[in-house]
Structure 1
Amino acid sequence: MKKNRISRWALFSMIFGIAAVLVLLLSGYGYQWNWWELGVAFSWLLPASAVLALIGLALALVYLFARWKGGANLSAKTVTAGVVLGLAVLVTVGYWFYQAQQYPPIHDISTDIDNPPEFRGIVPLRAEASNDTTYGDREKADTQREHYPDIQTLYLEEEYPEAFDRALEAARQMPWEQIVTSDKEQGLIEAFDKLPWFGFIDDVVIRVDTAETRGRSKIDVRSVSRIGRGDIGVNAHRIREYLEVVRNMRDNE
Protein backbone atom coordinates (compact mmCIF):
# COMPACT_ATOMS: atom_id res chain seq x y z
CA MET A 1 0.00 0.00 0.00
CA LYS A 2 2.82 2.38 0.87
CA LYS A 3 4.51 1.80 -2.47
CA ASN A 4 1.26 2.47 -4.30
CA ARG A 5 0.78 5.68 -2.33
CA ILE A 6 4.25 6.88 -3.31
CA SER A 7 3.53 5.96 -6.92
CA ARG A 8 0.31 8.00 -6.88
CA TRP A 9 2.18 11.10 -5.66
CA ALA A 10 4.49 10.77 -8.67
CA LEU A 11 1.59 10.19 -11.04
CA PHE A 12 -0.33 13.20 -9.76
CA SER A 13 2.80 15.32 -10.07
CA MET A 14 3.07 14.42 -13.75
CA ILE A 15 -0.67 14.95 -14.31
CA PHE A 16 -0.52 18.46 -12.85
CA GLY A 17 2.59 19.16 -14.92
CA ILE A 18 0.82 18.11 -18.11
CA ALA A 19 -2.25 20.15 -17.16
CA ALA A 20 -0.05 23.19 -16.55
CA VAL A 21 1.53 22.89 -20.00
CA LEU A 22 -1.86 22.48 -21.68
CA VAL A 23 -3.35 25.50 -19.91
CA LEU A 24 -0.26 27.56 -20.76
CA LEU A 25 -0.44 26.68 -24.45
CA LEU A 26 -4.20 27.11 -24.67
CA SER A 27 -4.05 30.51 -22.99
CA GLY A 28 -2.46 31.86 -26.17
CA TYR A 29 -3.87 29.62 -28.85
CA GLY A 30 -7.36 29.85 -27.37
CA TYR A 31 -7.19 33.63 -27.67
CA GLN A 32 -5.89 33.32 -31.23
CA TRP A 33 -8.77 30.95 -32.07
CA ASN A 34 -11.30 33.36 -30.49
CA TRP A 35 -12.22 31.00 -27.65
CA TRP A 36 -11.83 33.75 -25.05
CA GLU A 37 -10.76 37.35 -24.59
CA LEU A 38 -7.21 38.49 -23.95
CA GLY A 39 -8.08 39.41 -20.37
CA VAL A 40 -9.09 35.81 -19.67
CA ALA A 41 -5.78 34.56 -21.04
CA PHE A 42 -3.62 37.04 -19.14
CA SER A 43 -5.56 37.38 -15.89
CA TRP A 44 -6.75 33.80 -15.43
CA LEU A 45 -5.16 31.17 -17.62
CA LEU A 46 -1.50 32.21 -17.41
CA PRO A 47 -1.64 32.45 -13.58
CA ALA A 48 -3.62 29.19 -13.49
CA SER A 49 -0.88 27.40 -15.41
CA ALA A 50 1.66 28.62 -12.87
CA VAL A 51 -0.53 27.43 -9.97
CA LEU A 52 -0.92 23.99 -11.55
CA ALA A 53 2.83 23.81 -12.05
CA LEU A 54 3.44 24.71 -8.40
CA ILE A 55 1.01 22.02 -7.24
CA GLY A 56 2.79 19.49 -9.44
CA LEU A 57 6.15 20.46 -7.96
CA ALA A 58 4.72 20.24 -4.44
CA LEU A 59 3.47 16.72 -5.14
CA ALA A 60 6.91 15.81 -6.44
CA LEU A 61 8.40 16.99 -3.15
CA VAL A 62 5.90 14.83 -1.25
CA TYR A 63 6.97 11.86 -3.35
CA LEU A 64 10.64 12.53 -2.71
CA PHE A 65 10.03 12.93 1.02
CA ALA A 66 8.10 9.64 1.16
CA ARG A 67 10.86 7.91 -0.74
CA TRP A 68 13.48 9.35 1.60
CA LYS A 69 11.47 7.99 4.54
CA GLY A 70 11.92 4.49 3.23
CA GLY A 71 9.64 3.99 0.26
CA ALA A 72 10.69 2.01 -2.76
CA ASN A 73 12.29 3.67 -5.78
CA LEU A 74 9.09 3.73 -7.80
CA SER A 75 7.98 6.13 -10.52
CA ALA A 76 11.25 8.06 -10.73
CA LYS A 77 10.72 8.79 -14.43
CA THR A 78 7.13 9.82 -13.80
CA VAL A 79 7.97 12.32 -11.10
CA THR A 80 10.91 13.60 -13.14
CA ALA A 81 8.51 14.33 -16.00
CA GLY A 82 6.24 16.20 -13.61
CA VAL A 83 9.13 18.29 -12.30
CA VAL A 84 10.45 19.12 -15.77
CA LEU A 85 7.01 20.13 -17.06
CA GLY A 86 6.26 22.21 -13.97
CA LEU A 87 9.58 24.02 -14.11
CA ALA A 88 9.17 24.66 -17.85
CA VAL A 89 5.82 26.34 -17.25
CA LEU A 90 7.08 28.43 -14.33
CA VAL A 91 10.15 29.55 -16.26
CA THR A 92 8.02 30.49 -19.30
CA VAL A 93 5.43 32.44 -17.31
CA GLY A 94 8.09 34.07 -15.16
CA TYR A 95 10.14 35.04 -18.19
CA TRP A 96 7.24 36.81 -19.91
CA PHE A 97 6.16 38.64 -16.78
CA TYR A 98 9.78 39.66 -16.21
CA GLN A 99 10.12 40.86 -19.81
CA ALA A 100 6.96 42.92 -19.46
CA GLN A 101 8.66 44.88 -16.68
CA GLN A 102 11.86 45.51 -18.63
CA TYR A 103 10.36 47.44 -21.54
CA PRO A 104 8.43 50.72 -21.68
CA PRO A 105 4.63 50.53 -22.07
CA ILE A 106 4.65 51.67 -25.69
CA HIS A 107 3.65 49.75 -28.80
CA ASP A 108 4.39 52.18 -31.66
CA ILE A 109 8.04 52.51 -32.71
CA SER A 110 9.39 54.66 -35.55
CA THR A 111 12.81 55.61 -36.87
CA ASP A 112 11.42 59.11 -37.42
CA ILE A 113 9.61 60.30 -34.30
CA ASP A 114 9.06 63.83 -35.62
CA ASN A 115 7.38 62.76 -38.85
CA PRO A 116 6.54 59.05 -38.57
CA PRO A 117 5.64 57.15 -41.76
CA GLU A 118 1.87 56.99 -42.19
CA PHE A 119 -0.19 53.89 -42.87
CA ARG A 120 -2.47 53.96 -45.89
CA GLY A 121 -3.41 50.68 -47.53
CA ILE A 122 -3.22 48.76 -44.27
CA VAL A 123 -5.63 51.03 -42.40
CA PRO A 124 -8.76 49.02 -43.36
CA LEU A 125 -7.13 45.89 -41.93
CA ARG A 126 -6.90 47.64 -38.56
CA ALA A 127 -10.64 48.35 -38.35
CA GLU A 128 -11.03 46.19 -35.24
CA ALA A 129 -7.67 47.07 -33.68
CA SER A 130 -7.79 48.57 -30.20
CA ASN A 131 -4.71 50.71 -30.97
CA ASP A 132 -4.98 53.46 -33.56
CA THR A 133 -2.21 54.69 -35.84
CA THR A 134 -1.69 58.05 -34.14
CA TYR A 135 1.96 58.08 -33.10
CA GLY A 136 1.46 59.88 -29.80
CA ASP A 137 2.65 62.94 -27.94
CA ARG A 138 6.11 64.26 -27.13
CA GLU A 139 6.27 62.26 -23.91
CA LYS A 140 5.82 59.05 -25.85
CA ALA A 141 8.48 60.12 -28.36
CA ASP A 142 10.88 60.92 -25.52
CA THR A 143 10.20 57.49 -24.01
CA GLN A 144 11.12 55.82 -27.29
CA ARG A 145 14.25 57.92 -27.64
CA GLU A 146 15.33 57.00 -24.11
CA HIS A 147 14.80 53.24 -24.45
CA TYR A 148 15.58 52.73 -28.15
CA PRO A 149 18.19 55.35 -29.11
CA ASP A 150 19.50 53.11 -31.90
CA ILE A 151 16.22 53.21 -33.84
CA GLN A 152 17.21 55.80 -36.43
CA THR A 153 16.68 56.65 -40.09
CA LEU A 154 18.89 54.61 -42.43
CA TYR A 155 20.72 56.59 -45.13
CA LEU A 156 21.84 54.92 -48.35
CA GLU A 157 24.50 56.09 -50.76
CA GLU A 158 22.34 55.47 -53.81
CA GLU A 159 19.58 56.99 -55.88
CA TYR A 160 15.93 56.63 -54.94
CA PRO A 161 14.93 53.91 -57.47
CA GLU A 162 17.70 51.58 -56.30
CA ALA A 163 16.96 52.36 -52.66
CA PHE A 164 13.28 51.50 -53.04
CA ASP A 165 14.07 48.23 -54.81
CA ARG A 166 16.47 47.35 -52.01
CA ALA A 167 13.91 48.21 -49.34
CA LEU A 168 11.25 46.09 -51.03
CA GLU A 169 13.55 43.11 -51.49
CA ALA A 170 14.56 43.33 -47.83
CA ALA A 171 10.88 43.33 -46.84
CA ARG A 172 10.34 40.20 -48.94
CA GLN A 173 13.18 38.49 -47.10
CA MET A 174 11.61 39.18 -43.72
CA PRO A 175 9.47 36.41 -42.15
CA TRP A 176 6.41 38.64 -42.21
CA GLU A 177 2.93 37.38 -42.90
CA GLN A 178 2.14 39.51 -45.96
CA ILE A 179 3.25 42.58 -47.90
CA VAL A 180 0.12 44.67 -48.40
CA THR A 181 1.42 47.73 -50.27
CA SER A 182 4.32 48.26 -52.65
CA ASP A 183 4.08 51.73 -54.19
CA LYS A 184 7.32 52.88 -55.77
CA GLU A 185 5.86 56.19 -56.92
CA GLN A 186 4.87 57.10 -53.35
CA GLY A 187 7.88 55.41 -51.74
CA LEU A 188 5.62 53.29 -49.56
CA ILE A 189 5.79 49.65 -48.45
CA GLU A 190 3.32 48.18 -45.97
CA ALA A 191 3.18 44.73 -44.38
CA PHE A 192 1.92 42.93 -41.32
CA ASP A 193 3.43 40.26 -39.13
CA LYS A 194 1.58 37.65 -37.08
CA LEU A 195 3.28 36.42 -33.94
CA PRO A 196 3.06 32.78 -32.84
CA TRP A 197 1.15 31.53 -29.79
CA PHE A 198 -1.23 34.45 -29.11
CA GLY A 199 -1.33 35.43 -32.78
CA PHE A 200 -0.82 39.13 -32.14
CA ILE A 201 -0.65 41.14 -35.38
CA ASP A 202 1.75 44.05 -35.82
CA ASP A 203 1.77 46.37 -38.82
CA VAL A 204 4.84 47.76 -40.56
CA VAL A 205 5.15 50.76 -42.85
CA ILE A 206 8.38 51.59 -44.70
CA ARG A 207 8.96 54.99 -46.27
CA VAL A 208 11.69 55.47 -48.86
CA ASP A 209 12.61 59.01 -49.88
CA THR A 210 15.42 61.07 -51.33
CA ALA A 211 17.84 62.51 -48.80
CA GLU A 212 18.91 66.12 -48.54
CA THR A 213 22.21 65.34 -50.25
CA ARG A 214 22.17 64.52 -53.96
CA GLY A 215 22.68 60.85 -54.77
CA ARG A 216 21.52 59.66 -51.35
CA SER A 217 18.27 58.15 -50.11
CA LYS A 218 16.78 57.40 -46.73
CA ILE A 219 14.58 54.68 -45.27
CA ASP A 220 12.26 55.14 -42.33
CA VAL A 221 10.41 52.26 -40.69
CA ARG A 222 7.51 52.19 -38.29
CA SER A 223 6.10 49.12 -36.52
CA VAL A 224 2.83 49.24 -34.55
CA SER A 225 0.95 46.62 -32.51
CA ARG A 226 -2.78 46.32 -33.12
CA ILE A 227 -3.49 45.41 -29.50
CA GLY A 228 -1.81 45.94 -26.14
CA ARG A 229 -0.34 48.88 -24.33
CA GLY A 230 3.22 47.53 -24.43
CA ASP A 231 5.02 45.19 -26.82
CA ILE A 232 7.98 43.87 -24.72
CA GLY A 233 10.33 45.31 -27.33
CA VAL A 234 8.98 43.33 -30.29
CA ASN A 235 8.44 46.31 -32.61
CA ALA A 236 11.89 47.77 -32.01
CA HIS A 237 13.43 44.33 -32.56
CA ARG A 238 11.54 43.98 -35.85
CA ILE A 239 12.82 47.34 -37.10
CA ARG A 240 16.39 46.45 -36.14
CA GLU A 241 16.14 43.14 -37.99
CA TYR A 242 14.76 44.76 -41.11
CA LEU A 243 17.37 47.52 -41.25
CA GLU A 244 20.09 44.93 -40.68
CA VAL A 245 18.84 43.01 -43.72
CA VAL A 246 19.01 46.21 -45.79
CA ARG A 247 22.57 46.88 -44.59
CA ASN A 248 23.68 43.32 -45.31
CA MET A 249 22.31 43.58 -48.84
CA ARG A 250 24.52 46.63 -49.36
CA ASP A 251 27.59 44.91 -47.90
CA ASN A 252 27.14 41.78 -50.02
CA GLU A 253 27.09 43.63 -53.31
Structure 2
Amino acid sequence: METLFIYRWTLGSLLCLLLPLVGIVGTRLHWWPYYVGLLWLVAALACALLLLPLALWQRQWLATASPTLLILLVLPFMIKAFTLPAIHDISTDTQTPPTLTAATTLRSGGDHNTDYAGTTVAQQRATWPEIQPLIIQQPIKQVHAQVQALIAQRGWTITANSDTQLEAVVSSTLFGFRDDIAIRLTPVEPTAVSNDVHDLNSEQSATKVDMRSASRVGESDLGANAERIRAFLIELNQL
Protein backbone atom coordinates (compact mmCIF):
# COMPACT_ATOMS: atom_id res chain seq x y z
CA MET A 1 0.00 0.00 0.00
CA GLU A 2 2.85 2.36 0.83
CA THR A 3 4.41 1.62 -2.58
CA LEU A 4 1.15 2.48 -4.30
CA PHE A 5 1.02 5.77 -2.40
CA ILE A 6 4.56 6.64 -3.45
CA TYR A 7 3.78 6.03 -7.10
CA ARG A 8 0.25 7.48 -6.98
CA TRP A 9 0.99 10.16 -9.58
CA THR A 10 2.45 7.66 -12.01
CA LEU A 11 -0.44 5.26 -11.49
CA GLY A 12 -2.97 8.04 -11.95
CA SER A 13 -1.33 9.12 -15.19
CA LEU A 14 -1.29 5.56 -16.48
CA LEU A 15 -4.97 5.11 -15.69
CA CYS A 16 -5.81 8.16 -17.82
CA LEU A 17 -4.15 6.41 -20.74
CA LEU A 18 -5.01 2.76 -20.11
CA LEU A 19 -8.73 3.10 -19.32
CA PRO A 20 -9.73 4.60 -22.69
CA LEU A 21 -7.36 2.22 -24.48
CA VAL A 22 -9.04 -0.78 -22.87
CA GLY A 23 -12.46 0.64 -23.76
CA ILE A 24 -11.48 1.19 -27.40
CA VAL A 25 -9.81 -2.20 -27.89
CA GLY A 26 -12.58 -4.11 -26.12
CA THR A 27 -15.29 -2.41 -28.16
CA ARG A 28 -13.51 -2.96 -31.47
CA LEU A 29 -12.99 -6.64 -30.62
CA HIS A 30 -16.65 -6.96 -29.55
CA TRP A 31 -15.79 -8.02 -26.01
CA TRP A 32 -18.70 -5.95 -24.72
CA PRO A 33 -21.53 -3.66 -25.94
CA TYR A 34 -20.58 -0.21 -27.22
CA TYR A 35 -21.85 1.58 -24.10
CA VAL A 36 -19.41 -0.37 -21.91
CA GLY A 37 -16.54 0.97 -24.02
CA LEU A 38 -17.90 4.48 -23.54
CA LEU A 39 -18.10 3.88 -19.78
CA TRP A 40 -14.38 3.09 -19.78
CA LEU A 41 -13.80 6.44 -21.45
CA VAL A 42 -16.04 8.23 -18.93
CA ALA A 43 -14.09 6.59 -16.09
CA ALA A 44 -10.83 7.78 -17.63
CA LEU A 45 -12.20 11.30 -17.98
CA ALA A 46 -13.33 11.30 -14.34
CA CYS A 47 -9.85 10.17 -13.34
CA ALA A 48 -8.30 12.96 -15.40
CA LEU A 49 -10.58 15.64 -13.93
CA LEU A 50 -9.67 14.47 -10.43
CA LEU A 51 -5.96 14.03 -11.04
CA LEU A 52 -5.27 17.26 -12.94
CA PRO A 53 -6.15 19.82 -10.20
CA LEU A 54 -4.44 17.68 -7.54
CA ALA A 55 -1.28 17.41 -9.63
CA LEU A 56 -1.28 21.16 -10.25
CA TRP A 57 -1.80 21.84 -6.56
CA GLN A 58 1.10 19.54 -5.63
CA ARG A 59 3.20 20.88 -8.53
CA GLN A 60 3.58 17.43 -10.04
CA TRP A 61 4.03 18.85 -13.54
CA LEU A 62 4.82 15.55 -15.23
CA ALA A 63 1.64 13.99 -13.86
CA THR A 64 -0.47 16.69 -15.56
CA ALA A 65 0.52 15.57 -19.08
CA SER A 66 -1.75 12.55 -19.60
CA PRO A 67 -4.93 13.99 -17.99
CA THR A 68 -4.48 17.24 -19.93
CA LEU A 69 -4.02 15.32 -23.18
CA LEU A 70 -7.11 13.19 -22.54
CA ILE A 71 -9.27 16.21 -21.71
CA LEU A 72 -8.13 18.05 -24.83
CA LEU A 73 -8.89 15.01 -27.01
CA VAL A 74 -12.34 14.46 -25.52
CA LEU A 75 -13.36 18.14 -25.30
CA PRO A 76 -14.39 18.57 -28.99
CA PHE A 77 -16.67 15.54 -28.75
CA MET A 78 -18.20 16.82 -25.52
CA ILE A 79 -18.93 20.17 -27.15
CA LYS A 80 -20.66 18.40 -30.05
CA ALA A 81 -22.65 16.24 -27.63
CA PHE A 82 -24.03 19.34 -25.88
CA THR A 83 -24.53 21.56 -28.95
CA LEU A 84 -25.77 19.18 -31.67
CA PRO A 85 -29.18 17.45 -31.66
CA ALA A 86 -29.33 13.77 -30.76
CA ILE A 87 -29.72 12.39 -34.29
CA HIS A 88 -28.29 9.17 -35.67
CA ASP A 89 -30.05 8.93 -39.06
CA ILE A 90 -29.55 11.66 -41.69
CA SER A 91 -31.01 11.78 -45.20
CA THR A 92 -31.11 14.28 -48.05
CA ASP A 93 -34.67 13.12 -48.75
CA THR A 94 -36.67 13.21 -45.54
CA GLN A 95 -39.96 12.28 -47.20
CA THR A 96 -38.91 9.09 -49.00
CA PRO A 97 -35.33 8.41 -47.85
CA PRO A 98 -33.17 5.76 -49.53
CA THR A 99 -33.82 2.34 -48.01
CA LEU A 100 -31.09 0.54 -46.07
CA THR A 101 -31.76 -2.81 -47.69
CA ALA A 102 -28.47 -4.57 -46.95
CA ALA A 103 -28.40 -3.27 -43.37
CA THR A 104 -31.53 -5.19 -42.48
CA THR A 105 -29.49 -8.40 -42.56
CA LEU A 106 -26.24 -6.91 -41.27
CA ARG A 107 -27.57 -5.29 -38.11
CA SER A 108 -27.91 -7.32 -34.92
CA GLY A 109 -30.70 -7.37 -32.38
CA GLY A 110 -29.07 -4.66 -30.25
CA ASP A 111 -28.74 -2.24 -33.18
CA HIS A 112 -31.26 0.34 -34.36
CA ASN A 113 -33.73 -0.94 -36.91
CA THR A 114 -33.47 0.42 -40.44
CA ASP A 115 -36.80 2.26 -40.43
CA TYR A 116 -36.57 6.00 -40.94
CA ALA A 117 -38.54 7.53 -38.09
CA GLY A 118 -38.59 11.09 -39.43
CA THR A 119 -39.14 12.55 -35.96
CA THR A 120 -35.91 14.56 -36.14
CA VAL A 121 -36.49 16.15 -39.57
CA ALA A 122 -37.06 19.63 -38.15
CA GLN A 123 -33.87 19.39 -36.08
CA GLN A 124 -31.88 18.19 -39.08
CA ARG A 125 -33.11 21.02 -41.29
CA ALA A 126 -32.37 23.60 -38.61
CA THR A 127 -28.88 22.28 -37.90
CA TRP A 128 -27.77 21.16 -41.38
CA PRO A 129 -29.86 23.04 -43.98
CA GLU A 130 -27.23 22.24 -46.62
CA ILE A 131 -28.12 18.53 -46.53
CA GLN A 132 -30.16 18.47 -49.74
CA PRO A 133 -30.42 16.23 -52.84
CA LEU A 134 -27.80 16.86 -55.50
CA ILE A 135 -28.67 17.13 -59.19
CA ILE A 136 -25.86 16.39 -61.61
CA GLN A 137 -26.20 17.04 -65.32
CA GLN A 138 -24.80 13.65 -66.27
CA PRO A 139 -26.44 10.30 -67.15
CA ILE A 140 -27.09 7.90 -64.31
CA LYS A 141 -24.57 5.34 -65.55
CA GLN A 142 -21.75 7.87 -65.40
CA VAL A 143 -22.78 9.14 -61.96
CA HIS A 144 -22.97 5.54 -60.72
CA ALA A 145 -19.35 4.97 -61.75
CA GLN A 146 -18.27 8.18 -59.99
CA VAL A 147 -20.11 7.25 -56.80
CA GLN A 148 -18.58 3.78 -56.79
CA ALA A 149 -15.11 5.25 -57.29
CA LEU A 150 -15.57 7.69 -54.39
CA ILE A 151 -16.77 4.89 -52.12
CA ALA A 152 -13.67 2.85 -52.95
CA GLN A 153 -11.46 5.90 -52.43
CA ARG A 154 -12.83 6.37 -48.92
CA GLY A 155 -12.33 2.72 -48.04
CA TRP A 156 -16.01 2.02 -47.40
CA THR A 157 -17.24 -1.54 -47.81
CA ILE A 158 -19.95 -1.91 -50.46
CA THR A 159 -22.81 -4.10 -49.24
CA ALA A 160 -25.26 -3.70 -52.15
CA ASN A 161 -24.88 -2.40 -55.68
CA SER A 162 -27.61 -1.97 -58.29
CA ASP A 163 -28.07 0.36 -61.24
CA THR A 164 -29.95 2.89 -59.11
CA GLN A 165 -28.56 2.45 -55.60
CA LEU A 166 -25.32 1.67 -53.81
CA GLU A 167 -25.02 0.77 -50.14
CA ALA A 168 -21.94 0.65 -47.94
CA VAL A 169 -20.67 0.32 -44.39
CA VAL A 170 -18.11 2.59 -42.74
CA SER A 171 -16.46 2.13 -39.33
CA SER A 172 -15.36 4.92 -37.01
CA THR A 173 -11.63 5.32 -36.42
CA LEU A 174 -11.42 4.63 -32.69
CA PHE A 175 -14.27 2.52 -31.39
CA GLY A 176 -15.16 0.97 -34.73
CA PHE A 177 -18.81 2.05 -34.57
CA ARG A 178 -20.49 1.08 -37.85
CA ASP A 179 -22.70 3.34 -39.95
CA ASP A 180 -24.77 2.21 -42.93
CA ILE A 181 -24.92 4.33 -46.08
CA ALA A 182 -27.35 4.29 -49.00
CA ILE A 183 -26.88 6.39 -52.14
CA ARG A 184 -29.87 6.46 -54.49
CA LEU A 185 -29.63 7.60 -58.13
CA THR A 186 -32.73 8.80 -59.94
CA PRO A 187 -32.85 9.95 -63.57
CA VAL A 188 -34.48 13.36 -63.95
CA GLU A 189 -35.13 15.82 -66.74
CA PRO A 190 -32.11 17.99 -67.62
CA THR A 191 -34.17 21.09 -66.89
CA ALA A 192 -34.56 20.05 -63.21
CA VAL A 193 -31.57 22.15 -62.23
CA SER A 194 -30.68 23.26 -58.72
CA ASN A 195 -27.89 25.43 -57.41
CA ASP A 196 -25.79 22.28 -57.09
CA VAL A 197 -25.53 21.64 -60.82
CA HIS A 198 -22.32 20.02 -61.96
CA ASP A 199 -22.61 20.67 -65.68
CA LEU A 200 -24.87 23.19 -67.41
CA ASN A 201 -25.05 21.26 -70.68
CA SER A 202 -28.83 20.92 -71.00
CA GLU A 203 -28.54 18.34 -73.80
CA GLN A 204 -27.36 15.69 -71.35
CA SER A 205 -29.65 13.66 -69.13
CA ALA A 206 -29.48 14.48 -65.44
CA THR A 207 -29.28 12.43 -62.25
CA LYS A 208 -30.64 13.19 -58.81
CA VAL A 209 -28.45 11.89 -55.99
CA ASP A 210 -29.96 11.20 -52.57
CA MET A 211 -27.84 9.96 -49.70
CA ARG A 212 -28.65 8.52 -46.31
CA SER A 213 -26.20 7.74 -43.51
CA ALA A 214 -27.38 6.05 -40.30
CA SER A 215 -25.58 4.83 -37.19
CA ARG A 216 -26.26 1.34 -35.90
CA VAL A 217 -25.92 2.27 -32.22
CA GLY A 218 -26.20 5.36 -30.03
CA GLU A 219 -28.76 8.14 -29.93
CA SER A 220 -26.39 10.82 -31.21
CA ASP A 221 -23.76 10.54 -33.93
CA LEU A 222 -22.12 13.84 -32.90
CA GLY A 223 -22.69 15.16 -36.41
CA ALA A 224 -20.73 12.39 -38.14
CA ASN A 225 -23.47 11.31 -40.55
CA ALA A 226 -24.32 14.84 -41.68
CA GLU A 227 -20.66 15.68 -42.21
CA ARG A 228 -20.16 12.45 -44.17
CA ILE A 229 -23.03 13.27 -46.52
CA ARG A 230 -21.96 16.89 -46.91
CA ALA A 231 -18.35 16.01 -47.74
CA PHE A 232 -19.28 13.17 -50.11
CA LEU A 233 -21.75 15.22 -52.15
CA ILE A 234 -19.38 18.18 -52.39
CA GLU A 235 -16.64 15.97 -53.81
CA LEU A 236 -19.07 14.17 -56.11
CA ASN A 237 -20.28 17.52 -57.42
CA GLN A 238 -16.71 18.52 -58.25
CA LEU A 239 -16.04 15.53 -60.51
Aligned to 1:145: 125
Residues 1:32 and 2:9 aligned together: no
Q: Measure how far apart 1:50 and its partner are.
A: 2.1
CA shift in 2, pair 1:129/1:189, >3 Å: farther
* Inter-partner Cα distance in structure 2 for 1:127 and 1:229: 16
Percent identity of the aligned residues? 29
Q: Which position in structure 2 is the counterpart of 1:179?
A: 158
1:213-246, Cα deviation, whole Å (9 max, x unpaired): 3611111110010011110000011111211221
Distance in 1 separating the partners of 2:32 and 2:187: 47
TM-score computed with the length of structure 1 as normaliser: 0.80
Corresponding position of 1:235:
225
1:50-97 Cα offsets, whole Å, 9 max, x none, are 232234324423542xxxxxxxxxxxxxx4432111111222333322
What's the TM-score once normalised by structure 2's chain length? Answer: 0.84
Aligned to 2:42: 47
Cα distance in 2 between the residues matched to 1:18 and 1:196:
22
8 A Cα contact 2:137 2:190, kept in partner: no
What residue is the counterpart of 1:75 in the other structure? none
Distance 1:129 1:174, change over 3 A: farther
1:201-216 superposed matches below 5 A: 201-213=178-190, 215-216=205-206
The answer to whether the Cα contact below 8 Å between 2:9 and 2:63 also exists between their aligned partners in 1 is yes
Residue 115 (structure 2) aligned to one of 134, 149, 155: 134
**AA matched with 2:208:** K
2:236 corresponds, among 243, 246, 250, to 246
User: Take 2:223 and 2:123, find their aligned partners in 1: how far apart are those partners?
Assistant: 13
2:137 to 151, 157, 170: 157
Write the letter of the residue equivalent to 2:24: G
Counterpart residue number, 2:105: 124
Q: 1:13 to 1:56 in 2, by over 3 A?
A: farther
Shift of 1:247: 1.8
Counterparts of 2:139 and 2:178, CA distance in 1: 33
Q: For 1:124 and 1:228, locate their aligned partners in 2 and report how far apart those are by CA, in whole Å.
A: 19
Tell me the CA shift for residue 141 of structure 1. 1.6
Closer/same/farther in 2, CA of residues 56 and 140 from structure 1, 3 Å limit: closer
Indicate yes or no: 2:74 matched with 1:93.
yes
- 2:62 aligns with 81
Aligned residues: 223
Q: Distance in 2 between matches of 1:121 and 1:54?
A: 43
Equivalents in 2 of 1:209, 1:39: separation in Å? Answer: 38
CA RMSD of aligned residues (A): 2.2
Q: Which structure 2 segments of 5+ residues have no match?
A: 192-204
1:165/1:225 Cα in 2 relative to 1: closer, same or farther (>3 Å)?
A: same
The 1:107–1:204 alpha-carbon spacing in structure 2 relative to 1, beyond 3 Å, is: same
Provide the C-alpha distance between the structure 2 equivalents of 1:118 and 1:54, rounded to a whole number of angstroms.
43
Distance (whole Å) between structure 2 residues aligned to residue 199 and residue 63 of structure 1? 38
